[in-house]
Amino acid sequence: MCGIFGIVTTREQQLGPILVEAGKRLSYRGYDSVGCAVIGADQAIDLRKDVGKVEDVARRHAIAEMRGLRGMTQLRWATFGAPSHANAQPHLDSDGDMVGAHNGNVVNNVELRAEFVAEGMTVRSTNDGESCVHAVERYVKLGLGMVDAIRKAYDDLEGDYAFVIGRKGEDCLYAFKKGSGLVAAIGDGFTCVGSDLPSLLPLTRKIVRLRDGEMVVLRGDGLEVRHVSDGEVVEREVEEDSETMEAAQKGGYPHFMLKEIHEQPKVAQDLIHLLNASKHLDRFVNRLKGARNLYLVGCGTSYHACILGAVYLARLAGRPAVPILAPQFLAQYLPALGPDDVGIFVSQSGETKDVLNALQAARAKGAGILGLVNVLGSTLMHASESYLPLACGYEISVPATKTFVNQCVAFLAIALRAGGHGMEVLKDLPGLIERTLQGVDVPVRDLAPALMGQEDMYCLGYGLTYPIALEGALKLKEVTYAHCEGMLSTEFKHGPLSAVDEGFPILFVGGAEDTGLLVSGINESACRGARTVVISQEEPRLRANAHHMLVLPGADPLLAPILAVLPLQLLAYRLSVARGYDPDFPRNLSKTLTVD
């Protein structure tokens, strides 16, 4: 996820080291390119940027030497538009009079770029941060002052983002917030603004919180907050922040896992915006439509999303697809693979060795390679003919949560488009995720003590919720170290039922269409002593039969599995913490498995 930082001082100084350190503090958010710009007392703009790590870009471009009164840093996490020097931020306007950078996504970027070119502006990249600068330039050229030009630009730029910009011949920077994080701060002889608290905290603890729809005008000796809507000044108190750096990075949550679980409404919203607004989805879908055989390849959590993807593709597009664990793909399908076949390779990191082995073998046979990937610039992204980004930002916690949800969202969008359906069903999803997280929070906390000492559990699902049962079981195993097996519910009677005795915990996950099956499954195991937990929409028959119920909001059956994973993530988290473990870094595991 990108990050921005801007600073205005009362006297010209070497701003380079301050910008580099701010960049390092933003780096935990994930990035592939770095850029810094300063404006000196002589009003010249010095802009240096490149692809690479903060330290490397700083060394290659001697950023420490940069002097000025005003400065900004941007770390870019590529979404669409490859990581490149041109796409790295900040960006200049056509005449090099303004410089700006953003964090987030401008979803009408393609349309805006065409307009700017038609209006005679110089567009140098495909990056949406550049569109923010030209959107302001458009109104400055019409004679508006910066505050009014920014207010107009705000209306033209659709999406969720935050933006900072400076202009020659002035003494201030401007920034505004529209859906992405942005915090301002006041120090001794400077003011600053950044995407998050960690970018600011070592410089000052005097914080000014900004809300969506507000802009801030920063000068060396003070700042003013204004409403974008009418330009009026807003009175906003200065807060003294006492958080530690680590606590600030976790955004007030005790662990990254919990923070990332609660980011799910936002990342789902971002991805839905992006997929609606880009041509990438069409390209991707056209490529898979013509395939003779279609394989969905991944490991761990990503493999579970592949199973749900196959169910969606069959239901919505009548398109058979084979979900397969990457190493097993080599044994089971590679010998029969041909150039007419296509694989969608799914990986959060884009670096999982098992996945890359399968990808290379498929490529050697001439098969089509598509990627679903979170980390852009990764090996998977480069190896794919076409890719879709998961747009989750950096996932720090080892257990995958928000990336699983967006893998499912991406597969649902692919299946809808492949089947010629509209995307309307997706629009309610971010709100439903939010409601689910709120609704199950207390019930999950209440349930945790009942499962606390259990070392063996089953998690059963059916149809759309089968992959959710596998994913819930994996989450529980991964962070609680207890054994939890995920299974198709109908398979349970074919063997595992013999393990059930007094108090044996079984989690049933189901959609509204599975009520009959759930009721039989619950009774079959409860009469042998099992303690049953049901995760489903409200249904009197389920409530009457199960010992515990975690209720999901009513939703389209296609969305129900995505909602059902949320209580399981929270349950795994709560049990892990109650057992005294660190859910962010489970023992023996690594976030990115680059070994065989």
Catalytic site positions: 2, 591
Q: Which residue has the tokens 């009513």?
A: 554
Report how many residues bind ligand M6R under the rule CB under 6 A: 16
Of the candidate spans 11-19, 166-174, 243-251, 343-351, the one that interacts with ligand M6R by CB under 6 A turns out to be: 343-351
Contact 310, 436 (CB under 8 A): no
Select the residue interacting with ligand M6R from 347, 386, 536, 576 (CB under 6 A). Answer: 347
The minimum distance between CB 575 and ligand M6R, in angstroms, equals 15
Residue nearest ligand M6R by beta-carbon distance: 300
Picking from 529, 521, 523, the residue whose alpha carbon sits closest to that of residue 505 is: 529
Buried/exposed 264-296: b ≥16 CB within 10 Å, e otherwise: bbbbbbbbbbbbebbebbeebbebbeebebbbb
Query: By C-beta, is 138 or 477 nearer to ligand M6R?
Result: 477
The residue type found at 289 is K
Name the pairing type of β-strands 3-14 and 45-51.
unpaired
Select the residue interacting with ligand M6R from 399, 486, 505, 521 (CB under 6 A). Answer: 399
CA dist 483 and 373 (Å) reads 29
Q: State yes or no: residue 355 binds ligand M6R (CB under 6 A).
A: yes
Contacts of 25 (CB under 8 A, 6+ apart): 198, 199, 201, 202, 245
Could you give the count of Cα atoms lying within 13 Å of 11 in the half-sphere of its Cβ? Answer: 2
Query: By C-beta, is 273 or 475 nearer to ligand M6R?
Result: 475
The minimum distance between CB 389 and ligand M6R, in angstroms, equals 14
Query: By C-beta, is 354 or 514 nearer to ligand M6R?
Result: 354
Contact 314, 320 (CB under 8 A): yes
| 157 membership: H or E segment, kind and range | none
The site string for ligand M6R over 537-566 (x = CB under 6 A, - otherwise) reads ------------------------------
CA angle (244 as vertex; 239, 250 as ends), nearest 5: 95
Task: Write the burial class of residue 16 (CB in 10 Å: 0-12 exposed, 13-18 middle, 19+ buried).
Answer: buried
**What six digits make up the tokens of 146?**
């910066």
Query: By C-beta, is 154 or 387 nearer to ligand M6R?
Result: 387
CA dist 116 and 500 (Å) reads 67
The minimum distance between CB 471 and ligand M6R, in angstroms, equals 8
Q: State yes or no: residue 572 binds ligand M6R (CB under 6 A).
A: no
Q: Give 196's DSSP letter.
A: S
Query: By C-beta, is 407 or 536 nearer to ligand M6R?
Result: 407
Select the residue interacting with ligand M6R from 112, 193, 299, 311 (CB under 6 A). Answer: 299
Of the candidate spans 42-50, 296-304, 514-522, 528-536, the one that interacts with ligand M6R by CB under 6 A turns out to be: 296-304
Q: State yes or no: residue 352 binds ligand M6R (CB under 6 A).
A: yes
Select the residue interacting with ligand M6R from 74, 264, 349, 406 (CB under 6 A). Answer: 349
Of the candidate spans 110-118, 131-139, 141-149, 341-349, the one that interacts with ligand M6R by CB under 6 A turns out to be: 341-349
| 154 membership: H or E segment, kind and range | helix 146-156
Strands, E assignment, 77-120: 91-92, 98-106
Contact 225, 32 (CB under 8 A): no
Query: By C-beta, is 375 or 487 nearer to ligand M6R?
Result: 375
Select the residue interacting with ligand M6R from 130, 137, 434, 478 (CB under 6 A). Answer: 478
Contact 361, 334 (CB under 8 A): yes
Query: By C-beta, is 130 or 354 nearer to ligand M6R?
Result: 354
Q: State yes or no: residue 400 binds ligand M6R (CB under 6 A).
A: yes
The minimum distance between CB 350 and ligand M6R, in angstroms, equals 7
* Paired strand residues for 331: none
Select the residue interacting with ligand M6R from 249, 302, 480, 576 (CB under 6 A). Answer: 302
Select the residue interacting with ligand M6R from 33, 301, 436, 525 (CB under 6 A). Answer: 301
Task: Write the burial class of residue 435 (CB in 10 Å: 0-12 exposed, 13-18 middle, 19+ buried).
Answer: middle
The minimum distance between CB 484 and ligand M6R, in angstroms, equals 13
Query: By C-beta, is 194 or 371 nearer to ligand M6R?
Result: 371
The minimum distance between CB 352 and ligand M6R, in angstroms, equals 3
- Find the length of the chain: 596
Which residue ranges make up the site for ligand M6R (CB under 6 A)?
A: 299-302, 347-349, 352, 355, 398-400, 474, 478, 592-593
